[in-house]
């Protein structure tokens, strides 16, 4: 979908743009597939404010999304709607299975109302179908990829993103992430064919500060602009200090990954500039 821009009346709309939602279904969310969503306001479970930049925002209901797609194997489903979801950047699609059950799934680019989608090992290779990685040809783009068998999709869920299958090695499939990282994932993990919808989302210009407040984002003051008593980087004299959070924890580039157990599945780090050569 294209972007929609406005004339500068009022002036705050001069750089204001939104995604054109005219192609979406004009329906309310399915009541049984939604639940109340509570906000923390930046406070932890003890009521202590740990994030001073959160708060407010428009009230919204959470849509229950089926990220698994592997527990309805062999049951075709018809796409009923393509809808906006305020909780994520991608569009969602409501599908109705042949047995009458309805679910929300992430809508891939190109999926239309009336299309039939399926999941299983032997389904057709077409947009919206979900099947194990080992059964998907090399070179195709996928999304909603499982990291662990049966846990549900965890990778490639944001608007416009896709993960490319670049090779297969025994029981594992080599994937190229949007970040450039190359990772091995077990071939029995499920993935959905296609790219996630709402590709133009990344080009949207908020246009005014108030639009951030609608999203629950309060004004953010740089640490270096504060006094030393309020922030480790305060006082306008960082003196070679590493950038840090208000509580003194290093940030901005410091490696914090501690899951060494899965390091062997990362073939190439996203920071690497080396070219991949596949035999």
Regarding whether 34 and 167 lie in a shared domain, the answer is yes
CA distance 151 to 165: 20
Q: Starting from the edge strand earliest in sequence, which strands make up the sheet with 116-117, in order?
A: 102-106, 92-97, 77-83, 116-117
Do 135 and 68 lie in one domain? The reply is: yes
Q: Provide the domain limits for residue 250.
A: 232-257
Q: Quick check: is 262 in a domain? A: no
Helices (H), 46-150: none
Q: Cα(66)–Cα(271) distance, rounded to whole angstroms?
A: 32
Residue 116: give its domain's CATH number: 2.30.30.30
Q: Are residues 162 and 32 in the same domain?
A: yes
Say how many domains are in the chain: 2
Owner of token pair 């590493």: 242
- In degrees rounded to 5, what are phi and psi of residue 210? -60, -25
The DSSP letter of residue 50 is -
Together in a domain, 90 and 143: yes
Query: Which two three-digit tokens encode residue 151?
Result: 């846990």
Report if residue 188 sits inside a domain. yes
End-to-end Cα separation, the chain, in angstroms: 39
Question: What does each of the 279 residues of the chain score in pLDDT, given as a tens digit?
Answer: 689 999 999 898 999 999 999 999 999 999 999 999 988 999 999 999 888 899 889 999 999 999 999 888 999 999 999 999 999 999 999 999 999 999 999 999 999 999 999 999 999 999 999 999 999 999 999 999 999 999 999 999 999 999 999 999 889 999 999 999 999 999 999 999 999 999 999 999 999 999 999 999 999 999 889 998 998 888 877 677 788 888 888 888 888 888 888 889 999 988 876 555 554
Domain membership of residue 120 (yes or no) is yes
């Amino acid at each position: 979908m294209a972007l929609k821009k406005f004339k500068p009346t009022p002036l705050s709309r001069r750089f204001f743009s939104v995604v054109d939602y005219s192609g979406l279904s004009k329906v309310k969310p399915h009541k049984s597939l939604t639940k109340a969503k509570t906000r923390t306001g930046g406070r932890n479970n003890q009521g202590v404010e740990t994030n001073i930049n959160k708060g407010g925002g428009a009230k919204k209901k959470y849509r229950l999304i089926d990220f698994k797609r592997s527990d309805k194997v062999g049951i075709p489903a018809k796409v009923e709607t393509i809808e906006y979801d305020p909780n994520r950047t991608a569009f969602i699609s409501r599908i109705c299975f042949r047995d009458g059950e309805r679910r929300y799934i992430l809508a891939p680019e190109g999926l239309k109302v009336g299309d039939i989608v399926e999941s299983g090992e032997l389904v057709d290779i077409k947009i919206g179908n979900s099947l194990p990685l080992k059964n998907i040809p090399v070179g195709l783009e996928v999304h909603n990829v499982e990291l662990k068998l049966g846990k549900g999709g965890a990778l490639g869920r944001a608007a416009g993103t896709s993960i490319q299958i670049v090779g297969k090695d025994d029981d594992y499939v080599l994937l190229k992430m949007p970040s450039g990282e190359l990772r091995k994932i077990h071939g029995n993990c499920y993935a959905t064919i296609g790219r996630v919808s709402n590709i133009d989302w990344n080009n949207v210009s908020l246009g005014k500060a108030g639009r951030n407040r609608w999203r629950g984002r309060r004004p953010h003051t740089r640490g270096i602009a504060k006094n030393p008593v309020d922030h480790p980087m305060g006082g306008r004299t960082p003196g070679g200090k590493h950038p840090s959070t208000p509580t003194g924890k290093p940030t901005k580039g410091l490696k914090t990954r501690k899951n060494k157990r899965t390091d062997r599945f990362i073939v190439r780090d996203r920071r690497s500039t080396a070219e991949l050569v596949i035999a």
